[in-house]
Amino acid sequence: MAFLEVQDLTLYYDTHRGPLRAVDRVSFSLEKGEALGIVGESGCGKSSIALALIRVLPKNVHTYTGSVRLDGRELLSLSDEEFRRQIRWRKISMAFQGAMNVLNPVLKVGYQIAEPLLEDGQIPKEKAFSRVKEILKLVGLPPETAERFPHELSGGMKQRVVLATALVFNPHLVILDEPTSALDVSVQAQIMNLLKRLKSELGLTFVFITHDIALASDLCDRLGIAYAGQLAEEGPVEEILQRPTHPYTQGLLESMPLLRSDKPPSFIPGAPPGLTDPPKGCRFAPRCPYAFARCEQPPPPFVTTNRSRAFCWLLAEQRTLTPPVPSPYTGRAREGSRKSRAG
């Protein structure tokens, strides 16, 4: 059994237009020390997956079901109180999207990192503050940072503080929701290096959420390609980049500008569906150049290789088990579309 096993995780929100299916039967598994990148466009449910994993749910939850097993233990059957006391921050922690901009402006950084330890009440104050120094060092900040206020820090330093708050209880699984999106590229690279170091030195398991597939592939062992509240495809990073099987993944990769290519990046026409009334079958079908009659039914997961799965009816037709469209990462010219091969 894998360290983290997520099965059919579902989170719907109540809205005046009916239930909004932000997370719809999302499944993946992750070994200890691995990182999964969840990649997708804005609004496709990435943050909602994270909130469902750490059970920080807004008031208007409509449905919250599925299974999350961490180290063999089912978490969805725990009461809110059990989850709060035993799991959140201790076993699973999270750096929330935009958190660096909502650090409390009137509290010193050290106090903000120590706060959950102090609230816990089980550690004396001095010990909590020595833990703060330790953790600041771990994220590459000098111990004096504890005495400073958020406005005295740069963006990169603030993001390191956010990471420190997530690491203070030595969690096993850390969820990072767009941790570098607000930073400029060189600072982004420093944070990515820090994450790689934490992964190898502490053996942390990460769920890394981003809209940037290149960034995800820099850190992650596996990728989940999110589309309209679901994962369209999920598997080892090399397989997804070199042999994407889902047409959405292919479109996403082809939309990325490449350093050495005379081919301009293409884009996927249309827009993702609304999540209160998504297509009944494959959610990507209305935008998919390969859609055919069967796509009106929801596709089951097709195992494409040992450790990857894609939700696409084309895989039921033998023709597409090895997709004819090479990834832009291989640098080779496109060898012809699926459609022409299939037809």
Q: How buried is residue 145: exposed, middle or buried, by Cβ count under 10 Å (0-12/13-18/19+)?
A: buried
Answer for which of 141, 173, 204, 275 binds ligand ADP (CB under 6 A) is 275
**At 13, is the secondary structure helix, strand, or coil?**
strand
Among positions 16-35, residues that touch ligand ADP (CB under 6 A) are 20, 22
Answer for which of 47, 165, 217, 320 binds Mg ion (CB under 5 A) is 47
Q: Does 272 bind ligand ADP (CB under 6 A)?
A: no
Q: Does 308 bind ligand ADP (CB under 6 A)?
A: no
**Closer residue to ligand ADP, CB minimum distance, 249 or 304:** 249
| Cα 62 from Cα 51, distance rounded (Å) | 14
Residue 328 beta carbon to ligand ADP: minimum distance, rounded to whole angstroms: 23
| Cα 120 from Cα 20, distance rounded (Å) | 35
Query: Taking the CB of residue 151, how many other CB atoms lie within 10 A of it?
Result: 9
Geometric angle at alpha carbon 288, from 285 and 293, rounded to 5°? 50
Answer for which of 31, 32, 60, 335 binds ligand ADP (CB under 6 A) is 60
Geometric angle at alpha carbon 214, from 26 and 204, rounded to 5°? 60
Residue 323 beta carbon to ligand ADP: minimum distance, rounded to whole angstroms: 25
- Binding segment for ligand ADP (CB under 6 A), chosen from 42-50, 189-197, 258-266, 295-303, is 42-50
Q: Does 46 bind ligand ADP (CB under 6 A)?
A: yes
Diameter over CA atoms, the chain: 71
Q: Does 15 bind ligand ADP (CB under 6 A)?
A: yes
User: Which among 305, 133, 308, 146 is positioned nearest to 221, based on CA atoms?
Assistant: 308
User: Which among 269, 291, 99 is positioned nearest to 180, based on CA atoms?
Assistant: 99
- Binding segment for ligand ADP (CB under 6 A), chosen from 40-48, 158-166, 191-199, 284-292, is 40-48
User: Which among 38, 50, 12, 8 is positioned nearest to 25, based on CA atoms?
Assistant: 8
**Closer residue to ligand ADP, CB minimum distance, 222 or 243:** 222
Residue 23 beta carbon to ligand ADP: minimum distance, rounded to whole angstroms: 7
Residue 257 beta carbon to ligand ADP: minimum distance, rounded to whole angstroms: 22
Tell me the torsion sign for CA atoms 186, 209, 284, 323. positive
The first and second tokens of residue 105, run together, are: 């402006």
How many residues bind ligand ADP (CB under 6 A)? The answer is 15
Residue 181 beta carbon to ligand ADP: minimum distance, rounded to whole angstroms: 11
Query: Taking the CB of residue 206, how many other CB atoms lie within 10 A of it?
Result: 22
Answer for which of 26, 30, 35, 44 binds ligand ADP (CB under 6 A) is 44
Binding site for ligand ADP (CB under 6 A): 13, 15, 20, 22, 40, 42-48, 58, 60, 275
